[in-house]
Structure 1
Amino acid sequence: MAKKLKWSLILVGLAGLIVVMWGFFSPRPEDTTQLADYTPIKSAPLAPINPLSRETLNCQAFINNQLTSPDGGIYTNYQNTAQTGDLSTGHEVLSESMGLLLEYARLTGDQQLFHETTDYIQDHLIFDDILLWRIVENSDPITNVSATIDDLRIYQTLALAKAQWPLDDSATKILEMLENQLPIRGFQSDYLVSYYSATSPTQDKTVEVAYINLSALQTLAAAKPEIATAVNTNQQILLGSFISETLPLHHKSYDPQKRSYTDTDGKINILDSLMVIQNLAQAGIYSPQSIDWLEEKIASGTLYSYYDPHTGAALDTQESSAAYGIAAQIGAMLGNDFLTGNALTQLKKHQNADSQSPFYGGFGYNNNAYSYDNLQALLGLVYNK
């Protein structure tokens, strides 16, 4: 009896050890979704067909006339509201906006706008050897950090433009700076950080999934092979962020310590998920489930801002011009005319058509207009035929 009890205790101990060891060696959440779960894209358009449509030109004119400073920076808001802590407001200029404008210039083959934009970035946004994510023109810096999501967009656009035309001095300097800075400061233990400064080490606790511009990271790794492991790590986080068949979108953040994904306030922000889907499409892959879901929501005009990750139910009925603009871009990257066409149909419903309004040609809400909405809409309208 004592011998049986002894063996029972040994077996229980071994079972407990296995459970503990499984906790250490079980697959991470980002390892459970593999590249095979996504569909490769056979071909993706590199640039749209010119000439640009009337809607595109009207939107560009609104941005030029109402959101652009005398120096060439894109204001965050139409209204010059007061600054609010860490939030970008009023007539601040963001690296996000300048990167989107740079992408538009490349897509439309506007070499003059492209070089004017890189000149602006070089003259106004570069400080202490990094590209600041927000500034007030002709003032002391209001931040000392750079945002990797914007850096990667600008880096990728510059790398693509290099194959289209000779880069001028400012474009070359920015490309070289980002190529040297991102591998050193853009990662922490192989995980992509959200922000970094020139002096302080980054202490990010989570990885923002929408920041993982996989195509840009792959381009960067081709120039800097030492980040290949980091690129693979972040690719797995990107692939593993898929929520479920019920809601085929993507989680917002990944916690490396907890090995789990999280969402702000337990809600899915459609813009975050669309940026992830766009990042995947740029890298040549997509989830058919996500695209089917997008096609259905957009065709019915029910693409809303927030969703419940458990039930898949919409949590509001608010639509976003930026969301329809990004969806149109995704459709173009996939060669999916149905998705692009329906996204543009919905987008143009929100475009101001009153020629007497200061918002004519643009996308405004509550007597204000925002750079992100208008620039993402502009990038979508590029594909309007």
Structure 2
Amino acid sequence: MQSDYLNKKAKLLFAGVSMLAVSGCLYFFMLEKQVPSPTEKFIVEHMTNPNGTLATYLLDAPAETADIVAGREALAESLGLWMQYALARDDQKLFDSSYQVLHRYFLSPQTYLYWKLSADGQSHVTTNAFGDDLRIVDALWQAADKWEKEAYNKTANAVTETLLALSIQNGYLVDFHDFAKKESPHTLSLAYVDMSALKRMADHGMIDADMYNRYRDLMRNMPEDGLFYPKIFHVEKQVYSYDDSINLIDQLIVALHRAEIGERSEALVGFLKKEFAQRKQLPGRYDRLSRTPAVSYESPAVYGLAILLALKQDDPDWARELYERMVKLRSEDARYVGGYVFNDNTHIFDNLFPLLAEEAMRSYLD
């Protein structure tokens, strides 16, 4: 009897150990749910300017032109991603501090959002960026509902009203508006078409059903070349165009926006799975025609976005594989624990997207 009991106990113990070995990464997220990622700590300690804005690069460098971000300059895009992270963590204090940064530095007197700032919080641009605006107003509306703060609603509505008054071309909100020159382009970057934000904009009565459906149809009916999505929609000519060199960050963001309206990106995901299986990594860029890598580097942001897409498509096994590769790219330098630092430098997106992916995995497995 005792022998049978011990044999059964040994079998159960072996089965438990085997299960933990197979799914150890997934159990990590359940066990560590209340512990912030070390990447959050890295961002707070190393990528935050004294005024609270998020630096784009770890190392400072002078800006060569106003159109290109450099050094410790801050982006509205980064702030929007940080606000999304605060929402995911249910961290009202972190969100409110981000809102204060938004109000103090990014919100112009004309109620548009500067797309970038100098490290000291000064703006030397007179343009917004549509995709950044959508991400931020969406976060504000979500936070207003979650924490019942009318100030968030008020700011989101004001920014949206400015967009709708000045940035529409041929029935579409386009990439940006130059508030000094009073002109807008006729291009719409498809990575900017955030369907979740547009749906919330419609729910708040800021746009009508016709405008929302126009964007939905734009994303649902876009062509693809058998694998990759276009980069730009030209609103005047009503045509799409592709880049010759494909940035996987753009592709994955478009795929995530399509997922918001129930569209799956089977061709893109299937290709990336095959590439990852063969190469054990995902290069950051591909040549569109040859379908071969255009660069040798890996981007943590690519892995973060791919994880978000995998979870959106209910594929946690694929997400786990990507996660395991992603965290191997974290710096081993004791100065930068949790950061994705290469040659003593990093881009904020290569830390924010992985951070969002980590939190999404925790939530998915909760």
Measured against the shorter chain, the TM-score band is 0.7 to 0.9
Any idea what the Cα deviations from partners look like across 1:304-356, whole Å, max 9, x if unmatched?
Answer: 222232332332332110000111111222222022112211211101133x2
Amino acid at match of 1:133: W
Report deviation, 1:144. 1.3
Report deviation, 1:220. 1.0
- In the alignment, which residue of structure 1 is the partner of 2:4? none
- In the alignment, which residue of structure 1 is the partner of 2:343? 366
- Name the CA distance, whole Å, in 1 between partners of 2:121 and 2:32: 39
- In the alignment, which residue of structure 1 is the partner of 2:183? 202
- In the alignment, which residue of structure 2 is the partner of 1:337? 316
Report deviation, 1:130. 1.2
Contact 1:254–1:262 (Cα < 8 Å) also in 2: yes
Cα pair distance change 1:195/1:49, threshold 3 Å: farther
Contact 1:299–1:343 (Cα < 8 Å) also in 2: no
- In the alignment, which residue of structure 1 is the partner of 2:62? 82
- Name the CA distance, whole Å, in 2 between partners of 1:289 and 1:239: 15
Alignment map for 1:302-341 (pairs within 5 Å): 302-341=281-320
- In the alignment, which residue of structure 2 is the partner of 1:379? 356
TM-score by length of 1: 0.79
- Name the CA distance, whole Å, in 2 between partners of 1:293 and 1:75: 34
2:248 to 243, 262, 270: 270
Matching of residue 64 in structure 1 with residue 41 in structure 2: no
- Name the CA distance, whole Å, in 1 between partners of 2:203 and 2:305: 27
Any idea what the Cα deviations from partners look like across 1:118-159, whole Å, max 9, x if unmatched?
Answer: 111011111122111111254542111111101101111222
Amino acid at match of 1:136: S
Any idea what the Cα deviations from partners look like across 1:148-195, whole Å, max 9, x if unmatched?
Answer: 1011011112222233222263x2332221232232234211123111
Deviates more, 1:181-190 or 1:271-280: 181-190
Report deviation, 1:219. 1.6
Deviates more, 1:220-229 or 1:80-89: 220-229
Structure 1: which 5+ residue stretches go unaligned? 1-47
Higher RCO, Cα 8 Å, sep 6+: 1
Amino acid at match of 1:376: F
Contact 1:95–1:125 (Cα < 8 Å) also in 2: yes
Identity among equivalent positions (%) equals 24
Any idea what the Cα deviations from partners look like across 1:80-101, whole Å, max 9, x if unmatched?
Answer: 1001201011111111111100
Amino acid at match of 1:165: W
TM-score by length of 2: 0.83
Cα pair distance change 1:127/1:164, threshold 3 Å: same
When the two structures are aligned, how many residues end up with a matched partner?
331
Report deviation, 1:371. 0.9
- In the alignment, which residue of structure 2 is the partner of 1:164? 146
- In the alignment, which residue of structure 2 is the partner of 1:295? 273
Report deviation, 1:221. 2.0
Task: Note the aligned Cα RMSD (angstroms).
Answer: 2.3
Q: Give the secondary-structure state (helix, strand or coil) at the position aligned to 1:178.
A: helix
